[in-house]
Amino acid sequence: MSCPAPRPSRPADHPGAGRSDALFITGLGTFLASYVTLILGLLFALGSFTTPAHLLAAMASLEIRYAFRLSLVSCTLSTLVSLWIAVPAGYLLSRFRFPGRSLVDAVLDIPIVLPPLVIGLALLILFQMPPGRAIERLIPVTFAVPSVILAQFTVACAFAVRTMRVTFDQISPRSEQVALTLGCSRSQAFWLVVFPEARRGLLTAATLAWARALGEFGPILIFSGATRMRTEVLPTSVYLELSVGNIEAAAAVSLIMVIAALAVLILARLFGLRGSGLI
Amino acid sequence: MISLQNIAIRQDAFSLSGISLEIPAGQYGVLMGPTGCGKTTLVEAICGLRPIAAGRILLLDRDVTRLQPAARGVGYVPQDGSLFSLLTVREHLAFAPAVRGWTSAAIDARVEELARLLGIGHLLGRRPNGLSGGEIQRVALGRALAMRPGVLLLDEPLSALDDDTRKEMHDLLLNLRGQADVTVLHITHSRSEAQCLGDRWFELRDGKVRQIEARLP
C-alpha cells in the first residue's frame, strides 16, 4: 500500500503564523520588562532620595562604619563556612543514594521556607538548652558577634547547598568514572576532576550566600539583638535609623548595601567568566 | 585476557544474568547488540563502576571481581570521550601515569610516544573545548592507553564520527591492534567495523551473550 504524497504547504496556508509569534514574543517581553522596571524603580527611588551629602554623613557615623565592617566580615565568614558545608553536602546528595536521602533533602529546604523571625527565635531557644549553654560557656554566642555569623550562616548555607547540588548534578559522572579507572581513588577523582569543573558553581554559591547573608535581618534581630557598636549590621542600621524617623540615613545605608551587593555580583561575574572566552 | 563467568547485573527494572564471555590475551573482541540491551552496563561492570550480583570477572588471569576500578588496570574509552574539560591534551595523556606515581621523565616520554602514535602532537597544549569529534576520541584513547593497560574497553568509539574521521580512527585502531600488547573489548553497532577489527565476535541480545563464530554474513 502506498501513501499519498502530502500536499506541499505554501505560505498562504498559514497566514497567521508570523503574527502569532510576534504577539507571543511581545507578550513575554512585556512580562520581563515590567519586573525589570520594578527593580530599576526600586534602585532609582533609593538613589533619588539620597544625596551624596547623606551618603557621606552616613559613612562618617561611627555606628554605621562599625555596622559596615561587621557586615563585610560576618558575611564573608558565614559564606566561607557555608561553602565548607555546601560542597560535601551537594556532592553527597548528587552522587550517592543512601537511606533517608529524600528526608535529608527536605530538611535542607527548611531554612529557605521558614519565616526569618522563626529561625531567629529557634536559634535563641536552642542556645538556652543544655548543649547551647555548654557552647556559651566556652564562647559567648547569643547577643554577641558569633550569633550574627551563625544567623547568617543558617540561611545562607541552605542556598549554597542547593546551588552546589545543582552544580554537581550538571557535571556528568562519566569523567569522574574514567578518572577512577585511570587509577584515582574517589577522593582524587573529586579533587582532580570534579571540583575544578565545579568552580563556576562554587562562585555562584558564594555570591548567593554572601548576598543572602548581607540582607539577613529577622534572625539577627531576635538572636543577636540590635545593639549599636556590638551586633549592628547594615540591615540593623536601616531598622534603627527608621525607628527614630531618620529616613535619609536609612536610605543612605540601604544604598550602601545595594552598592556592596552589586560590587560582589560584578566581581563574581568577572572572575567567573575569565578564561571562558566570554569577556 | 578478558573472562566473564556467569555474570549477573541487576539495576532497578533492568537485569542481565548468566553472561559469559572469553577473549584470549592479545585478541580483539567485538560485542554487538541492539541499543539498550546492556552493552555499556557490561563494560561498566568490567571497569568496576557497577556492582555485579553474581559471577566472576578475570582480567589477565587475575580475579578482579571485588577490586576497585583503580586496581583493575583497565583502559576505558567511553562513547563521548568524556574528556576533563579543564585539562590540556598533554595533561590528559599524563593523567594516569602521574596518578600512578611515574617519574616526570617517564611521563614525558610516554606523552611524546602517545602523541606520535595517535597523531595529536599539535594538540598537546589545547583543551577539549574546540576539538573535533575525532580528536576527542584520539585523546580519550591516548588517556586510556597511557598507563599501558593490559585490557582496553572501547564503548562505541566511532559511532559519533563522520565518515572520513571514522576511517582515520578505524585505521588507527587497526594499527594499534598490531602494536600494543593489549586485549580489547570493542562495542559497536557496525558490522563492517566489527568484521575489520575483530578476532572474535559476540552478540548481546535478550540478556544473553553468545559468540558468533567465523566471519559475519
Model confidence pLDDT, tens digit, residues B123-169 = 999 999 989 988 999 999 999 999 999 999 999 888 877 787 888 88
Per-residue exposure over A33-69, b if at least 16 CB sit within 10 Å of its own CB, e if not:
eeeeeeeeeeeeebeeebeeebbeebeebebbebbbe
* Chain A residues 175-204 with CB within 8 Å of chain B: 175, 177-185, 188, 192-193, 196-197
Q: Which residues of chain A have pLDDT under 50?
A: 1-3, 275-279
- Is the CB of residue B16 less than 8 Å from the CB of residue B38? yes
Cell 529557634 -> residue: A122
Residues of chain B positioned with their CB less than 8 A from the CB of A183: 70, 96, 99-100, 147
- Looking at residue A4, what is its pLDDT? 54
How far is the alpha carbon of B140 from chain A, nearest alpha carbon, in Å? 10
- Stated pTM of the model: 0.85
Select, from the ranges A77-91, A195-209, B10-24, B171-185, the one with the highest average predicted confidence (pLDDT). A77-91
Q: Tell me the mean pLDDT in the region B73-92.
A: 94
B82–A181 C-beta distance less than 8 A: no
- Looking at residue B135, what is its pLDDT? 92
- Looking at residue A106, what is its pLDDT? 94
Residues of chain B positioned with their CB less than 8 A from the CB of A200: none
- Looking at residue A13, what is its pLDDT? 58
A197–B99 C-beta distance less than 8 A: no
Give dist(CA B58, CA B70) in Å, integer: 15
Residue B211: beta bridge partners? Answer: B202
Task: Give the model confidence (pLDDT) of A123-171 as tens digits.
Answer: 999 999 999 999 999 999 999 999 999 999 999 999 999 999 999 999 9
- In sequence order, which residues have a C-beta less than 8 Å from that of residue B13 and are 6 or more positions away? none
What is the side-by-side order of every strand in the sheet holding B151-155?
B74-77, B151-155, B183-187, B28-32, B200-205, B208-212
- Looking at residue B88, what is its pLDDT? 96
What is the CB neighbour count within 10 angstroms for residue A265? 14
- In sequence order, which residues have a C-beta less than 8 Å from that of residue A82 and are 6 or more positions away? A153, A156, A157, A159, A160, A161, A205, A206, A209, A213
Kindly tell me if the per-residue pLDDT of B74 is higher than 60.
Answer: yes
Q: Which CATH architecture has domain A52-273?
A: Orthogonal Bundle (1.10)
Q: How many CB pairs under 8 A join A and B?
A: 63
Please state the domain extents for chain A. Answer: 52-273
- Looking at residue A35, what is its pLDDT? 97
Domains, chain B, in order of start with CATH, read 2-83+149-212 (3.40.50.300)
As for the ipTM of the complex, it is 0.93
- Looking at residue A1, what is its pLDDT? 41
